[in-house]
Amino acid sequence: MYCAVRLDHRTATLDHVVPLARGGAYDPGNLVAACGPCNRLKGEMLPFEFFARHPWAGSNFVRYARSVHRALKRGARRAVSLAFARADLMAA
Ligand SMILES: [Zn+2]
């Protein structure tokens, strides 16, 4: 979901988009498949923190996350466009 690598039953892990430790629910609308490295990279970050730091992950999330809560997707879209806007400012 984050780096868009192909996953199978051996490499897929379940990621809580909002981590349980940060108040996330064990609920299908809060779960996505992620590879181990991305899951560890995200750790206990909230999705907008993770996507602000790694906008590529947010772009893939916006593109591929279908079953997650709509509010998570809206928040991801906002975090990604803010991150890219910041990158443009720094490049200018
Ligand atoms: Zn990954």
pLDDT in tens, the chain (92 residues): 999 999 999 999 999 999 999 999 999 999 999 999 999 999 999 999 999 999 999 999 999 998 899 999 999 999 999 999 988 888 87
pTM of the model: 0.88
46 CA distance to ligand 1 centroid (A)?
Answer: 17
Six-digit token string for 61: 């999330």
pLDDT score of 67: 87
CA of 76 to the centre of ligand 1 (A): 17
For residue 30, give the nearest of 19, 45, 42 by alpha carbon.
19
Tokens coding 29 = 């609308």
Could you tell me which of 53, 69, 84 has the C-alpha nearest to residue 18? 69
CA of 5 to the centre of ligand 1 (A): 6
Tell how far the Cα of 38 is from the centroid of ligand 1, in angstroms.
Answer: 4
- What is the CB-side half-sphere exposure of residue 26 using CA atoms within 13 A? 1
